[in-house]
Homo-oligomer: A and B are copies of this chain.
Amino acid sequence: MAAPIDFYFDFSSPYGYLGAMRIDALAEKYGRTVAWHPILLGAVFKATGSAPLPTLPMKGPYSLHDFARSARFLGIPYQQPPVFPLSTQLAARATLWIAQTQGSVKAIEFAKAVYRAYFVSCMNISEPEAISTIASAIDLDPGILLEGATSEDIKTRLKEEVATGMQRGVFGSPFVIVDNEPFWGVDRFEQIDAYLKNGTI
């Protein structure tokens, strides 16, 4: 059986959200599974000397326009959250804890719910209250989740995810690796489709 497709994402990345709404269907089309890897772009940007798109001169205003337009183009609901970007550490840790204790299917369900809470309902997903609400809605115990998500073990796991991602060349979100072939951006999904189909481009 082929290895899973690696899907790296940050919860405050609009293009990561758009990718998250598409990656499973794309993989399934070719009988592949997806390994979801929440990472922290802040840590990556420190290493690459980059910064969040909306903070950049000229690129900032364009990006805000392009986030919403790209979502409309792909037929995916989108609202620009007023608090943006924000800390995604807790959401990422919670995802890893769910994966470790309940398996990846539940973790992916949670990750998609977090993304929708942020980019459709505009909830402040940096806050424990928001994470609790999202968890409850998919039948997870919020108290146990928050305790697990803030354990030393899970903090270490997230650091390892970020470090491993960077070692593999991940520098943005979404970042997809298919059999060692790297693809950056939701605008590379057509190339990913071609690569999955033909094994080459």
Question: Which residues of A approach B to under 8 Å, CB–CB?
Answer: 47-50, 56-59, 61-62, 65-66, 69-70, 72-73, 166, 169, 171-172, 182, 184-185, 187-188, 190-191, 194, 201
Most B C-beta atoms less than 10 A away, residue of A58, A185, A190: A58
Contact call A62/B187, Cβ cutoff below 8 A: no
What CA separation (Å) do A118 and B104 show in the bound complex?
48
- Across the two chains, which residue of chain B brings its CB closest to A59? B171
Contact call B191/A73, Cβ cutoff below 8 A: yes
Most B C-beta atoms less than 10 A away, residue of A56, A69, A70, A194: A69
Q: What 10 additional pairs, Cβ within 8 angstroms, besides A58-B169, A66-B184, A73-B190? A: A49-B56, A58-B166, A58-B171, A59-B171, A61-B169, A65-B182, A69-B201, A70-B191, A185-B187, A187-B187
What CA separation (Å) do A57 and B172 show in the bound complex?
12
What CA separation (Å) do A142 and B134 show in the bound complex?
68
Contact call A58/B69, Cβ cutoff below 8 A: no
Across-interface contacts of A57 in B (CB, < 8 A): 47-49, 171
Across-interface contacts of A61 in B (CB, < 8 A): 169
A168: min CB distance to chain B, Å = 10
Across-interface contacts of A191 in B (CB, < 8 A): 69-70, 73
What CA separation (Å) do A62 and B50 show in the bound complex?
15
